[in-house]
Amino acid sequence: MIKYLLIVLLMLIPLSAVNAQPAAPTRPPLDDTPFEDRVYEVFVPEREDDDDSLMPLLFVLHGASGSGHGTREWLGFDEPAQAAGFIVVYPTGIANNWDFGGGIRTQQGIILSDDVSYLVWLAEQLADEYPVDTTRIYATGMSNGAQMAYYLACQAPETFAAVAGVAAPLSGSTATRCATTPISVLMINGTLDRILLWQPQTTADGRVISLGTLGTVEFWAQRSQCNVEDDALVVDELPDTDPDDASTVRHIALNECENGTNVQFYGVIGGGHTWPGHPLDIELDLGPTNMDIDATALIIDWLQALPAPDTAVTASD
């Protein structure tokens, strides 16, 4: 029934295959780490003095050449996080990029940065400093930041309970180095993305560079053992509230997955390499920004609605 799911998604692109077997993620211990000089900003919601309840923690990861501060200003997570009671952290990557397993390319060469260990370390530091619910630590990101969020889902599912990615498919290298633990994932990709293409990408010798959008949906659905029978799918054509944005949105929900997880996909038909609801005023043409949805509010709402770990059920329950 996976093939049926793909037909429902958008009936556009053939899937690529990833033939290598997943390997168990490994990381060095976090003792004596050199992370103290890394830069990040934290938003902590205001609340009553007698409110000592634990709060979810959300990592917002910038795209290539971005920064935590710039992404905070652009995407506006602070306001919905205040309403939802989320702590939000905006870290900045080495050379303003994230290393999701292949190094960071710069004019001086490739820099290796163990960003998984750094972000896990940062989660632990913030949990020591703030009232963090360590069962509800999440990550989201745009482009390179989305690829890093997916890498965290593969390499550190014991820390990150769910991830959301915008404007990025899963890389082939990440797919081959991924834990099998079910995890909730939300994806938002545009069909006209010219930076990280909707279609799967391979090298001339057949090595998978990117699974493409639909291959990424299939990957997460299989990892969380989602029920993809036609009567289990929720398919919505979202209202075209802004007819001038040159795009529309189709939402596919896979809500019957193992351990209470779910997989959500928002296909922006006609959308570019952009964050819906938040146009970016730069000279580079990244394609249309959809204004029918606000990805920032949507991600917060989705994370807030996820079941607590002690109430999760399996897809067969």
- pLDDT, tens only, 240-261: 999 999 999 999 999 999 999 9
CATH number (domain holding residue 270):
3.40.50.1820
Q: What is the mean pLDDT of the chain?
A: 89
- Let me know if residue 97 belongs to a domain: yes
pLDDT surpasses 80 at 184: yes
pLDDT-derived band at 131 (thresholds 50, 70, 90) equals very high
Would you state the pLDDT for residue 12?
A: 40
For the cut 80, the answer to whether the pLDDT of residue 316 exceeds it is no
Residue 296 placed within a domain: yes
Burial label, 124 (beta-carbon count in 10 A; 0-12, 13-18, 19+): middle
Q: CA angle, corner 252, sides to 10 and 144, nearest 5?
A: 80
| pLDDT confidence band for 4 (50 / 70 / 90) | low
- Is residue 28 a part of any domain in this protein? no
Looking at the structure of the chain, the number of domains it has is 1
Task: Specify the pLDDT at position 24.
Answer: 43
Q: Is residue 123 part of a domain?
A: yes
The answer to whether residue 22 is domain-embedded is no
- DSSP category for residue 171: B
Backbone angles phi, psi at 140, to 5 degrees: -140, 165
> Does residue 317 form part of some domain?
no
**126, part of any domain:** yes
**What DSSP state is assigned to residue 47?**
-
End-to-end CA distance of the chain: 20
Write out pLDDT tens, residues 258-313. Answer: 999 999 999 999 999 999 999 998 878 899 999 999 999 999 999 999 997 754 44
Q: Considering the domain boundaries, does residue 293 fall inside one? A: yes
Which residue range(s) make up the domain with 271? Answer: 2-13+34-45+52-307
